[in-house]
Amino acid sequence: MKKYLGILKSNELNQLSLKEQLDFMLKNELFYISNSYSIDITATQTNVKIDNPKINLKPTLEVANAFYDYLKELLSRNIDQQFLQFFSDFNDRIYGLGNKEQQKIALKLFNKLYKKIKVLDTNFVKKEKDNSGLEQVKNMNRFDLLKGRQNGQTQQLSTTENILQFLNGKEPYFNTEEFKNDSDTEEFITFEARLKILVSLNGRFHFEEDIHFTDLGQLKKLYQKHQDIFKSFEVFVYAHKKIQGFKVAKTEHITSLYDALFEMKLIDNNDAKFLNYLDLEHDISLTILKHYEPAQNMQHDQRKLAFKIELQEYPSEKVELLTDDIEKPYVIKSKKKSLQIFTDKDALDYLFKNTFNCK
């Protein structure tokens, strides 16, 4: 969490000239130079003058993210105060209610809080084809937008002054009342508290897929590397977590798991690919998977049966995680205005800039 903190705190660096210090920061990718220009458009619109170049020093994305993580840790108590208060009230409100009643209340609060945190009165939608080949219009994932909102918040906080204090290890600067009471800092605390509440509510009631604030995103990246082995993302997650959880007799449990997956047609019949996956993702080096005949190893049969019972809910047909049928999203600002077409990245960039005027 404290990566880059105090990296410039060095007697050797302090003895360098300002130019040499700047060269050091640029060379080590702590900052980059952003040039901006004033544009003079004449009445003819054919003679455009670009002059008065202005050089801005901006922190790199990695430094800005490290600083943001540092602040989340430093101000975690302030963030948790709002988080704990919300769930204290929420738990009292749903006490004794059934799951459906609890979910209804949770969804109402989720939507109310999401509207507060979203900031922009803009809807992002996209077209995609369903299993029947029919086009459907769906809203963009709310956690995609929340991630964009967080990125904008990161840029808002990453002023040159704040980043230099961070890189120089001036931690007392961030503990002053002046910094904590700054409007940007207060907005950061409120945003992170509300985000934490939304993530927690979604984790509990499963309103929407969240690949940004859970381990789901990392699992999807891993699956994309090995989707030629596993029949579906859900099967991959099941197997991956099972293997991670094996603490004793790993080889025996992995052998039984593989046989269960194979017999239920949930995995490709290729030992070499599976062994490569074990080596790359679990740091388990095996040269061979032992195969048993029925009743040859009773413990193996019992483990395999237990896995097969748990795997009954998974379909044996492969479902691709990614599809070429997904089309570009649109941005709808008003029913009276025409649609503008954006790529996913453009849509989120639009969100950042219109929320915080980030460059």
**CA 279 to each of CA 214, 282, 287, 330: distance values in angstroms, whole numbers, following the listed order:** 24, 6, 10, 42
Q: Which residues pair with 34 in a beta bridge?
A: 56
In a domain, 249, yes or no: yes
Percentage of residues of the chain with pLDDT beyond 90: 49
Residue 354 in this model has a pLDDT that exceeds 60: no
In a domain, 186, yes or no: no
pLDDT in tens, 277-295: 999 999 999 888 888 888 8
Residue 156 in this model has a pLDDT that exceeds 50: yes
In a domain, 179, yes or no: no
In a domain, 35, yes or no: yes
pLDDT in tens, 73-88: 999 999 999 999 999 9
314, 266 in Cβ contact below 8 A? yes
**Phi, psi of 166, rounded to the nearest 5 degrees:** -65, -50
Give me the mean pLDDT over the 308-319 stretch.
73
Q: How confident is the model at residue 126 (pLDDT cuts 50, 70, 90)?
A: confident
Residues with Cβ < 8 Å from 39, sequence gap 6 or more?
48, 49, 50
> Residue 335: its pLDDT value, please?
45
> Residue 348: its pLDDT value, please?
56
Residue 43 in this model has a pLDDT that exceeds 60: no
> Residue 47: its pLDDT value, please?
52
Structure token pair of residue 223: 């699956």
Q: How many domains, the chain?
A: 2
In a domain, 105, yes or no: no
Range of the domain at 232: 228-313
Structure token pair of residue 297: 């190893």
Highest-confidence segment of 99-108, 145-154, 263-272, 291-300 = 99-108
In a domain, 19, yes or no: yes
In a domain, 283, yes or no: yes
Give me the mean pLDDT over the 75-102 stretch.
96
Q: How confident is the model at residue 316 (pLDDT cuts 50, 70, 90)?
A: low
Give me the mean pLDDT over the 25-45 stretch.
70
Q: Is the whole-model pTM more than 0.75?
A: no
> Residue 343: its pLDDT value, please?
45
> Residue 39: its pLDDT value, please?
54
> Residue 211: its pLDDT value, please?
85
Q: Kindly report which listed range (28-37, 88-97, 320-329) carries the lowest average pLDDT score.
A: 320-329
Q: Kindly report which listed range (127-131, 146-150, 184-188, 316-320) carries the lowest average pLDDT score.
A: 316-320
99, 205 in Cβ contact below 8 A? no
Residue 151 in this model has a pLDDT that exceeds 90: yes
- Angle, CA of 269, 274 and 278, to the nearest 5°: 165
Type of residue found at 352:
F
| Mean pLDDT across the chain | 82
Strand 31-41 to strand 340-341: parallel, antiparallel, or no bridges (unpaired)?
A: unpaired
Give me the mean pLDDT over the 204-216 stretch.
88
Closest CA to 275 of 289, 257, 260, 265: 289
Final residue before a domain boundary, out of 298, 313, 328: 313
In a domain, 193, yes or no: no
